[in-house]
Chain A
Amino acid sequence: MTESLAPPSVRPGLLRRLWRFVWSPSGSIALGVLVAAGFFVGIVFWGGFHWALEMTNNEQFCISCHEMKDNVYAEYTSSPHFQNHSGVRATCPDCHVPKEWQYKLVRKIQASQELWGHFVTGSIWTREKFVDRRIELASHEWRRMKTTDSRECRNCHAFDSMDFTKQETRAAKQHQLAVDTGKTCIDCHQGIAHRLPQGGRDAYEAMLKTLASETAAAAPAK
Chain B
Amino acid sequence: MRFLMFAAALGVAVLTFAIGSTAGPTAAEVRSLRNADPQVDLTPPDPARQDVHGRFDRAYRLQPPLIPHQIDRYQIDLKANQCLGCHDWSNAAKNGAPTLSMTHYLDRDGRQTDTVAGTRWFCNACHVPQAEAKDLVENTFKPSQSVR
**Residues of A in contact with B (beta carbons under 8 Å apart):** 80, 165-170, 172-174, 191-192, 195-198, 200-201
B69 interface residue (CB < 8 Å to A): yes
The 10 closest A-B pairs by CB, nearest first: A196-B80, A198-B79, A165-B47, A168-B51, A169-B52, A166-B48, A196-B75, A165-B48, A166-B49, A200-B80
Q: Contact check, A166 vs B47: say whether CB atoms are below 8 A apart.
A: yes
Distance of A166 Cα from B95 Cα, bound (Å): 20
Question: B112 near A: Cβ within 8 Å?
Answer: no
B77 touches A172 (CB 8 A): no
| Minimum distance in angstroms from B54 CB to a CB of chain A | 11
Q: How many Cβ-Cβ contacts under 8 Å join chain A to chain B? A: 45
Interfacial chain B residues near A201, Cβ < 8 Å: 80, 85
Of A170, A172, A196, which contacts B79 at CB under 8 A? A196
Q: How far apart are the CA atoms of A61 and B114 in the complex, in Å?
A: 45
Q: Give Cα A185 to B96, complex, Å.
A: 19
Contact B80 A198 (CB under 8 A): yes
Name the residue of chain B whose CB is nearest to the CB of A197.
B79
Residue contact B75 to A195, C-beta cutoff 8 Å:
yes
27 CB contacts below 8 A, A to B, read A80-B73, A165-B47, A165-B49, A166-B48, A167-B49, A168-B49, A168-B51, A168-B52, A168-B69, A168-B70, A169-B47, A169-B49, A169-B51, A170-B51, A173-B96, A174-B95, A191-B80, A192-B73, A195-B79, A195-B80, A196-B75, A197-B79, A197-B80, A198-B79, A198-B80, A200-B79, A201-B85
**Which residues on A sit within 8 Å (CB–CB) of B95?**
174
